[in-house]
Chain A
Amino acid sequence: AQTVTQSQPEMSVQEAETVTLSCTYDTSENNYYLFWYKQPPSRQMILVIRQEAYKQQNATENRFSVNFQKAAKSFSLKISDSQLGDTAMYFCAWYGGATNKLIFGTGTLLAVQP
């Protein structure tokens, strides 16, 4: 069975600084996808970034980028130039195999301090 682990329950960063959120996963599948979702206080889950496992190049979306290490089964999220609006819970998620479901980690609560 697939598992997703986020070992940082809470993190804090100063506005305009860079922060990295960690995620590791376990799977025996070769084809899968990894995601970072953001859940702000409004509770709506918003997709931040997606990575296809077969792509070696790390995904980037504006200030958000990932460091995908397939052999190490590691998928970290880097947020550059942190903004107050980045304050949220961040979930790492796995998708693949014969299933249609997303498998989530326990989340990291990120607080951006002014």
Chain B
Amino acid sequence: EPEVTQTPSHQVTQMGQEVILRCVPISNHLYFYWYRQILGQKVEFLVSFYNNEISEKSEIFDDQFSVERPDGSNFTLKIRSTKLEDSAMYFCASSEYVGATNEQFFGPGTRLTVL
């Protein structure tokens, strides 16, 4: 069964460093998402992406964040200068279409630890 994959599973970085989190969505999916979950808190939407541009973003997704689909398979989230409060689990998701009848499939997540 096709699945969303994410690398690395755990990333440790120093405050102020740039990190890139990578995701490979399901191959025929057209819509891509990033969510994050700070430990013990709820899952929060960051950004959605379609047709090589951001379709929606939350207030969390400030200028320190960017997303890219550099090739036909990867979808990346870059944090330019990490802060302690960026420590969280980051989930990538993809869907074939928009609309709730089309399930958003989630990856296993990348745990980001900022020291």
Residues of A within 8 A of B (CB): 32-33, 35, 37, 42-47, 50, 52, 91, 95-96, 99-107
Contact = CB atoms under 8 A, between A and B. Distances in A.
B42 A105 contact: yes
Interface residues of B, number: 24
Nearest to B103: A47
A111 B39 CA distance: 19
A44 B109 contact: yes
Given A44-B109, A47-B103, A100 B42 contact: no
Contact of A91 (B31, B43, B55, B103): B43
Nearest to A9: B40
24 contacts: A32-B100, A33-B100, A37-B106, A43-B109, A44-B106, A44-B108, A45-B91, A46-B106, A50-B100, A91-B42, A95-B100, A96-B100, A99-B56, A100-B31, A100-B55, A100-B56, A101-B48, A101-B56, A102-B35, A102-B45, A104-B42, A104-B43, A104-B44, A107-B42
